[in-house]
Amino acid sequence: MLIDTYGRVATDLRVSLTDRCNLRCTYCMPEEGLQWLAKPDLLTDDEIVRLVGIAVTSLGVEEVRFTGGEPLLRPGLPGIVARVAALEPRPQTSLTTNGIGLGRIARALKDAGLDRVNVSLDTLRPDVFKALTRRDRHKDVLEGLRAAREAGLTPVKVNTVLMPGLNADEAPDLLAWAIEHGYELRFIEQMPLDAQHGWKREGMVTAGDILAALRTRFALAPEGAEERGSAPAERWIVDGGPHTVGVIASVTRPFCSACDRTRLTADGQVRTCLFAREETDLRAALRSEAPDEEIARLWRQAMWGKKAGAGLDDPSFVQPDRPMSAIGG
């Protein structure tokens, strides 16, 4: 098991497949993009499958989520999904994507063994989408969402970050739209993980703001703690059900004590937390021909050192060097 000194057990693995992206969301990266990882530094498909295999067969990982950067930019994605879905015991598989290109590949991903997707969409307005992502691709994301639902990659979840002055007024419209189209909406509080270090606590839209805005149009009742488990989203039953809405309040209501995550970057570093400043280099171990047991030992050791919390409220908090897109969100 991947257990830490606080007794938490990591069963949910986030794998970043690339740090590259075809959007430039303002809360994530600068307009000019970032210095991407060099190809030889990226894990190969075989290396990814070997590490995920160790996590699933020896370390108790039960869920594998592919992310990035934009994971749909990774060539050979369906092949990676198929090999991971063929592991014993079979892990749950999912993907977090900006949805561009999903229209073309959703069916192939489903056939390869992908269970679910989360598609990021912050606005219903094409002009606001362009301002937020610096690209004119709103239509492609809507197409991707539709294709995911039709391919059965369900429940299709929609991740939304609200930004003041841009889309902060859209919360109720987004929820009405998500209910109408059969998507499960989750708002994510903006976190200090952008490469430009532009995050300001005073400037962010909080979970409290989001819930207040939703309540102007909907009745929200909290879902029981049992249903939440270790899930980061606090879920609310909308207008008596069956629809729900989630709010991931990583900043104002952190859920670190229930965290069950471990992360692997596209260049093979284990991270215990999005906000961790330490990494453990599994790529070096892989490439020096370490046996599986040694890699499992390094991974366990990394998780044993996981901190109690992200420490956002600690005056000594320092944003990690790698931005979210390079860690794998």
Interface of this chain with ligand SAM, residues 82 to 121, rule: CB under 6 A: 96-98, 120
CB 126 within 8 A of CB 163: no
Can residue 29 be called a binding residue for ligand SF4 (CB under 6 A)?
yes
Q: Which residues contact residue 277 at a Cβ distance below 8 angstroms, ignoring those fewer than 6 apart?
A: 318, 320, 321
Q: Closest approach of Cβ 95 to ligand SAM, in Å?
A: 9
Residue nearer to ligand SAM on the CB measure, 296 or 326: 326
Among 2, 13, 15, 28, binds ligand SF4 (CB under 6 A): 28
Q: For residue 181, give every residue at least 6 positions away whose Cβ sits within 8 Å of its Cβ, in sequence order, or none.
A: 145, 149
Please select the residue that binds ligand SF4; options are 2, 13, 17, 21, rule is CB under 6 A: 21
Which entry of ligand SF4, ligand SAM, none binds 24, CB below 5 to 8 A by partner kind? ligand SF4
* Nearby residues of 284 by Cβ (< 8 Å), 6 or more positions away: 268
Pick from 43, 56, 325, 326 the residue near ligand SAM by CB under 6 A: 325
76 is in an annotated binding site: no
- 179 contacts 159 by C-beta, under 8 angstroms: no
Q: Is the distance from CB of 148 to CB of 156 less than 8 angstroms?
A: yes
Give the nearest distance from C-beta 160 to ligand SAM in angstroms.
Answer: 8
Residue from 10, 23, 49, 179 touching ligand SF4 (CB under 6 A): that is 23
Least distance (Å) between residue 30 CB and ligand SAM: 12
Per-residue contact track with ligand SAM, 170 to 209, x per CB under 6 A? ------------------x-xx-xx---------------
SS3 state of residue 129: helix
Nearest of 169, 158, 170, 168 to residue 121 by alpha carbon: 158
CB of 186 to ligand SAM, least distance (A): 9
Helices 171-181 + 207-215 axis angle, to 10: 70
Residue 34 to residue 239: CA distance in whole angstroms: 43
| CA 144 from centroid of its chain's CA atoms | 17
Distance between CA atoms of 62 and 11, rounded to whole angstroms? 5
In this chain, which of 159, 167, 262, 272 binds ligand SAM, going by CB under 6 A? 159
Position 11 contacts ligand SAM (CB under 6 A):
no
Closer to ligand SF4 at the Cβ: 23 or 49? 23
Residue number with the smallest Cβ distance to ligand SAM? 329
Nearest to 207 by CA among 170, 240, 251, 165: 251
State yes or no: residue 70 binds ligand SAM (CB under 6 A). Answer: yes
Q: Which residues bind ligand SAM (CB under 6 A)?
A: 21, 27-28, 67-68, 70, 96-98, 120, 159, 161, 188, 190-191, 193-194, 324-325, 329
